[in-house]
Amino acid sequence: NTFVISFYRIIFSVGKAQDFPAGFKFGVATAAYQVEGAWNISGRASSIWDEFVHSRPQATADHSTGDVACDSFHLWRRDIDMVAELGVDFYRFSISWTRLYPNGFTNYLNEDGKRYYEDLIDTLLNRGIEPLVTLYHWDLPQKFQDLGGWTNPLVVEWFAEYARAVFTLFADRVHTWITINEPIALCDMVYHVGSHAPGILSPGVGNYICMKNVMLAHAKAWRIFDEEFRSKHYGRIAICNMHLAYEPASDEETEAAELARQLFVGVYTHPIYSAAGGWPPKIEKIISDRSLKDGYNYSRLPAFTTAEKDLIRGTYDFYAMNYYTGRLVRKAKIADKYGIWPLEASTDLEVIVYPDPKWKMSDSYWLYVYPEGIRHQLNWIGKNYGNQAIIITENGYSDSKMDLNDKERVQYHRGHLKQVLLSIYEDDVNVTGYTAWSLMDNFEWNSGYTQRFGLYAVDFTSPLRTRTPRASALYYGAVVRQRLLDPVYDNPYQTSRASNIVIHTSVNLFITLINLMYC
């Protein structure tokens, strides 16, 4: 087999150009609370997720916590080995605020935390892997939650101070930064849905207050980087947005779909990327009108002052998009009962969002497979906000099995990468990178360990948290190395593998020979 593959590779590399453009980068991602564990050692203090899962065991499907998770605090060398095995250009991980600054404030730096991230970053660099660092992936210091968390306007300063401190430590070595991961998850999923830590229900009020503070916090961090660090240490920094593809349920529903897109995506992009700045005008008007109609004296969506709009507008160096799934959208009928995002949507909009029954469901209740949606979203960004570089910072597939032969996950990544290529070549959208979520199975928030997104399987029953590559890791590693959508790779988990390789190889050899004859 090895011989056949090597032979094939030589022929193939002569016969066909690479699918992925020169300069296109591949990566793989994790987040601190989902993998690190070591929640109460080496000076780390509690974040809102520690407090949430400890005080409400029913918040996770299997009543689990991230106390140990993948134990990456101890096993990070193995993590880097895996990243290197995949051959990717970058590793996206996040910093645990309370591991570095247990007080939340930066008056006290935890040396063990500093050493941990320093080792991680330096070792990645030594192995030729670029660190892509997220400052905030949902784990606010509990001490700040006790003071109101993301609904207290002071959070803007708390976050800005933390960002400056992290840049001071690592901006000499880290050159791509994400300020905040998926604001929808820390505003809507907390205050509207109530499922994410700290699980405070305040729909239509708390989520909107949070949104304004998140936008300002991001903007302050970006400006600090821009003014104090960029000239010394080159680098780029952006917020990271969760996109679902919101598709009209019928031709009459394009307006409803665009409104849903504006409420769930546009509120986090318009203030930053649009020429005018501020909230998407239609959304601002709808929420204001409804608030006044309901007897409020002002909009539940807090307005920006002109100075705030100016502070936020233009605070980007690229566009970071996470994409997993899509929804159909239609106007609500009188008898409709409103549910919660992401299955049914906002009462403020009077729209209903729901998955297309034609889309294949994963084992996660929210994740339906809709690869075309990623292309639609990339086009939407390109059309609305110009052709700055777009990095897909997350894309992945969940199941509930330990299976190593994860055919569905391979198909998922292949299907989405294919749409990314169409977006680049057919639509001229400037997509410059792709990140698979996730490097390995990990603590999947409310799903605990019941949902697995890993290219590597993790055995959570073993104290060693053994990691084993799945077929998807082998597929993705081959994509990265051969820069092809359909690379040759050996899947040892496939039962009839020898015959498959021969058939696959023969077919491709034939195509290659035809190609050669014409070049």
Ligand X SMILES: *[C@@H]1O[C@H](CO)[C@@H](O)[C@H](O)[C@H]1NC(C)=O
Nearer to ligand X among residue 89 and residue 188 (C-beta): 89
Nearest CA to 396 among 66, 34, 21? 34
Nearer to ligand X among residue 364 and residue 442 (C-beta): 442
The answer for residues whose C-beta is within 8 angstroms of residue 251's C-beta and 6 or more apart is none
Q: How many CA atoms are closer than 13 Å to the CA of 9, on its beta-carbon side? A: 15
Is 127:79 a contact under the CB 8 Å cutoff? no
Q: Least distance in Å: CB of 515 to ligand X?
A: 27
Amino acid at 436: A
Nearer to ligand X among residue 295 and residue 357 (C-beta): 295
Q: Which of 161, 253, 308, 394 does the annotation list as catalytic?
A: 394
Nearer to ligand X among residue 24 and residue 354 (C-beta): 24
Nearer to ligand X among residue 41 and residue 361 (C-beta): 41
Nearer to ligand X among residue 142 and residue 364 (C-beta): 142
The answer to whether residue 255 is catalytic is no
Q: Least distance in Å: CB of 505 to ligand X?
A: 36
Nearest CA to 477 among 496, 490, 493, 460? 490
Is 120:80 a contact under the CB 8 Å cutoff? yes
Q: Least distance in Å: CB of 179 to ligand X?
A: 18
Instruction: Calculate the dihedral angle through the C-alpha atoms of 237, 242, 245, 249, rounding to the nearest 10 degrees.
Output: -140
Q: Least distance in Å: CB of 424 to ligand X?
A: 10
Q: Least distance in Å: CB of 236 to ligand X?
A: 8
Nearest CA to 389 among 355, 430, 420, 348? 430
The answer for residues whose C-beta is within 8 angstroms of residue 386's C-beta and 6 or more apart is none
Q: Which residues bind ligand X (CB under 6 A)?
A: 40, 67, 297, 387-389, 430, 432
Is 196:446 a contact under the CB 8 Å cutoff? yes
Nearer to ligand X among residue 296 and residue 510 (C-beta): 296
Nearer to ligand X among residue 18 and residue 387 (C-beta): 387
Write down the residue that tokens 């020979």 correspond to.
513
> How far apart are the two ends of the chain, measured CA to CA in Å?
28
Is 259:327 a contact under the CB 8 Å cutoff? no
Q: Least distance in Å: CB of 443 to ligand X?
A: 13
Q: How many CA atoms are closer than 13 Å to the CA of 333, on its beta-carbon side? A: 2
Q: Least distance in Å: CB of 155 to ligand X?
A: 26
Nearest CA to 434 among 417, 451, 411, 457? 417
Is 156:139 a contact under the CB 8 Å cutoff? no
The answer to whether residue 408 is catalytic is no
Q: Which of 130, 182, 253, 444 does the annotation list as catalytic?
A: 182
Total Cβ atoms within 10 A of residue 297? 6
Q: Least distance in Å: CB of 407 to ligand X?
A: 34
Total Cβ atoms within 10 A of residue 83? 22
Write down the residue that tokens 């008056």 correspond to.
107
Is 162:223 a contact under the CB 8 Å cutoff? no
Active site residues per annotation: 182, 394
